Amino acid sequence: MSSRVRLVDQGSPRLADAGLGAELTPPPGERWHPYVIPTSLTVNGGSQGTTSPSVQVGSFDFICTDINFYSATQAFTVLIQDQGTSHAFMPSEVHYFTLIRADREPWRLRVPYRFQGNGAIYLSATNLASSGSDTLYVTLIGYRVLPPP
């Protein structure tokens, strides 16, 4: 049995809560294609870095269901924000290990988030190491919303 998700029709960029493990189904009139938005940020030890310019969503809406993080050697705190709505995914920077599971599974958003087309995503990361630099790779995973055929 699969559950369906419908869009919240209140001008909100969020989707209705699908619950964990639910199958997402586009509402009538929309086509969804699997899509990822990759970005990376190289930050010196003990320093903070931000994406500049911000990561662009693209011309179509993007529904984010998961966020994955990877860093080869260092520990990072992160902050992700939708610049169009000022919606922050966390109130302040959090250690990215607290968001991913021990088996390196991506952070599954309990409520998929809809970024508006032509919007931007702000990413801030702080390298907690005292020296050296490292790159934090962040991938937003979800669906690109395409207009009806």
Task: Give tens-digit pLDDT for 40-53.
Answer: 999 998 898 888 77
Hey, which residues does 97 pair with through a beta bridge?
A: none
- 8 A C-beta contact, residue 77 and residue 95: yes
Radius of gyration for the chain, computed over Cα atoms and rounded to the nearest angstrom = 16
Residue-level pLDDT at 23: 60
Please write the tens of the pLDDT for every residue from 11-36. Answer: 333 343 334 444 677 887 888 889 99
Q: Are 141 and 64 in contact (CB under 8 A)?
A: yes
Spatial distance between the Cα atoms of 126 and 63, rounded to a whole number of angstroms: 26
The pTM (predicted TM-score) of the whole model is 0.77
DSSP state string for 32-84 = EEEEEEEEEEEEETT-EEE-SSPEE--SS-EEEEEEEEEESS--EEEEEEETT
Pairing type for strands 62-71 and 120-127 reads unpaired
The pLDDT, as a whole number, for residue 103 is: 67
**Residues of the chain predicted below pLDDT 70:** 1-23, 101-103
